[in-house]
Amino acid sequence: MNDGMTDGLIQETWLRVCNNLRAEVGETSYKSWLKPMAVREVRDGKVRISVPTRFMRDWVMAHYAERLENLWCDEMPEVSSIDVFVQTERAASLPTSKKVEEAPKPTQDINPKNNSYDSYRNEISAPLDARFTFDQFVVGKPNEFAHAAAQRVAEATRLQFNPLFLYGGVGLGKTHLMHAIAWHIRKADPSRTVMYLSAEKFMYRFIRALREQNTVDFKEQFRSVDVLMIDDVQFISGKDSTQEEFFHTFNALVDQGRQIVISADKSPSEMEGMEERLKSRLNCGLVADIHATTYELRLGILLSKSEQAGVEVPRKVTEFLAHKITANVRELEGALNRVIAHAQLVGREISLETAQEVLHDLLRANDRRVTIEEIQKRVASHFNIRMSDMHSARRARSVARPRQVAMYLAKQLTSRSLPEIGRKFGGRDHTTVMHAVRKVDELRESDAGFAEDVELLRRMLEG
Ligand code: ADP
Ligand code: MG
């Protein structure tokens, strides 16, 4: 049943793949999404992996399929694809299929019946980052409103803004503000229970509770907190059962006069795949957005961070960084840290030249960040089709193929996820994008002319 490989070898390889992936995605994501997977067989170059629920399968396919495939391929070149399928726990324990000892076992659970609710709650609530306080948040035009709203919620003795909905692009300080609220409340009144967790974790917990049939306990946990904060709720849009549960939890808490704080990368109204009634409930509190950084804010953040690090950074260097690293605060912070670390390692003063040298890769990436629209335009004109065909439902090969090429290049040249790419192509599903990527890869192998075309487009787009 396996391609001439022993089960032992396969499971060993799987363990290595898991460990690599764990190092990449971090412990939390690993435990939530990857640990429950089990390899069932390797046949015809295809690795068959089982997961306990359909939802998990979709999640793993959307977020980790490609990485898993590459990691397998690194370990076993004969592997060309992976297949994730649903197998319930009971079926999984039948003698025909083996499970690995260490890696893919469901995480050990705390049974709330045997433990105090507190310990259960502490386990659900994610740890707070000690650096994410109001003190360390630099306020500027783009974030002053969100900051003021967060501060009001943190200091409020009665409910004023409920829910507080913070939204903005990645790396702009949403999580920082949420942690700052939590720190503040915990310090001001330790008797109030604050629960902070990612929507991803909320969802995972909920699904696990469903599986283990203890949703009643699950609900109780959330419904007994004073302040509930859920980070990155865009993750639950489109996930109907989780949304439903979230909605009920949310209503119950609001009705009981508990504070809710939510973050997302879009406003409630812009959230696709979210139920109208949930949208409107989210909209009825205070919605505060964090805008993209300005030069002044970036400069302020650099000054504050270098002061905290106790390092003298020449004005020229901070100005240079504030001009060049514009994507978000996380990247800006990373750039500054790299410059500082480098100077300390080689024992030299920080200068403009060393900064440019140390950051050359980052600077280049910031210089030419290709957008999906540019890719679509370029590919459309290359193949002589209309730009609108990138979004249309037409399936004729003459437009479908260029569309696939554009999806492929979007995957290669941008950091967008498969679902994000799908959305930009007329709201297509992530599996369509995945299929396109595979198809183009196949064609590049078999058709030299086609491969050249793709290569040419890539070079033009990379500038
Ligand atoms: P998001 O949750 O919006 O993706 P984070 O809150 O994780 O972003 O912020 C990314 C990094 O940038 C964090 O290290 C955070 O401390 C820092 N950061 C963001 N905004 C600010 C700010 N205004 N002042 C200081 N640090 C900031
Ligand atoms: Mg965040």
Cα 83 to middle of ligand 2, angstroms: 31
CATH tag, 144-289: 3.40.50.300
SS (H, E, C) the chain: CCCCCCHHHHHHHHHHHHHHHHHHHCHHHHHHHHCCCEEEEEECCEEEEEECCHHHHHHHHHHHHHHHHHHHHHHCCCCCEEEEEECCHHHHCCCCCCCCCCCCCCCCCCCCCCCCHHHHHHHHCCCCCCCCCCCCCCCCHHHHHHHHHHHHHHHCCCCCCCCEEEEECCCCCHHHHHHHHHHHHHHHCCCCCEEEEEHHHHHHHHHHHHHHCCHHHHHHHHHCCCEEEEECHHHHCCCHHHHHHHHHHHHHHHHCCCEEEEEECCCHHHCCCCCHHHHHHHHCCEEEEECCCCHHHHHHHHHHHHHHCCCCCCHHHHHHHHHHCCCCHHHHHHHHHHHHHHHHHHCCCCCHHHHHHHCHHHHHHHHCCCCHHHHHHHHHHHHCCCHHHHCCCCCCHHHHHHHHHHHHHHHHHCCCCHHHHHHHCCCCCHHHHHHHHHHHHHHHHHCHHHHHHHHHHHHHHHC
Would you state the pLDDT for residue 331?
92
What is the domain partition of the chain in residue ranges?
7-111, 144-289, 295-366, 372-462
pTM, entire model: 0.60
Would you state the pLDDT for residue 88?
65
CA dihedral 114, 119, 125, 131 (to 10 degrees): -160
Top mutation candidate among 139, 176, 196, 326 for ligand 1, by most atoms within 8 Å of CB:
176
Give the closest residue (by CA) to ligand 1 atom 21: 173
Q: What mean pLDDT is reported for the chain? A: 84
Top mutation candidate among 231, 293, 330 for ligand 1, by most atoms within 8 Å of CB:
330
Domain 7-111 CATH class label: alpha beta
Could you list which residues have their CB under 5 Å from ion ligand 2? 174-175
**Ligand 1 shell residues, CB under 6 Å:** 132, 136-138, 143, 168, 170-176, 301, 329-330, 333
How much is the average pLDDT of 163-168? 95
Would you state the pLDDT for residue 1?
53
Fold of 295-366: Helicase, Ruva Protein; domain 3 (1.10.8)
Q: Does the structure show a pLDDT above 80 at 338?
A: yes
Top mutation candidate among 166, 329, 337, 415 for ligand 1, by most atoms within 8 Å of CB:
329
How far apart (Å, rounded) are the C-alpha atoms in residues 363 and 35?
36
Q: Does the structure show a pLDDT above 80 at 26?
A: no
Looking at ligand 1, which atom is closest to the CA of residue 333? 12
Domain 372-462 CATH class label: mainly alpha
pLDDT band of residue 299 (cuts 50, 70, 90) is very high
Is 213 buried (19+), middle (13-18) or exposed (0-12) by CB count in 10 A? Answer: exposed
Looking at ligand 1, which atom is closest to the CA of residue 332? 12
Task: List CB contacts of 13: < 8 A, sequence separation 6 or more.
Answer: 72, 75, 76
For 59-108, write each residue's pLDDT tens digit: 788 778 888 888 888 888 888 888 888 876 544 433 333 333 233 233 33
Look at 101 and 197; give whichever has higher pLDDT.
197
- Asked whether the beta carbons of 302 and 320 are under 8 A apart, the reply is no
Cα 170 to middle of ligand 2, angstroms: 7
Looking at ligand 1, which atom is closest to the CA of residue 139? 23
How much is the average pLDDT of 112-135? 66
Cα 258 to middle of ligand 2, angstroms: 22
Would you state the pLDDT for residue 203?
82
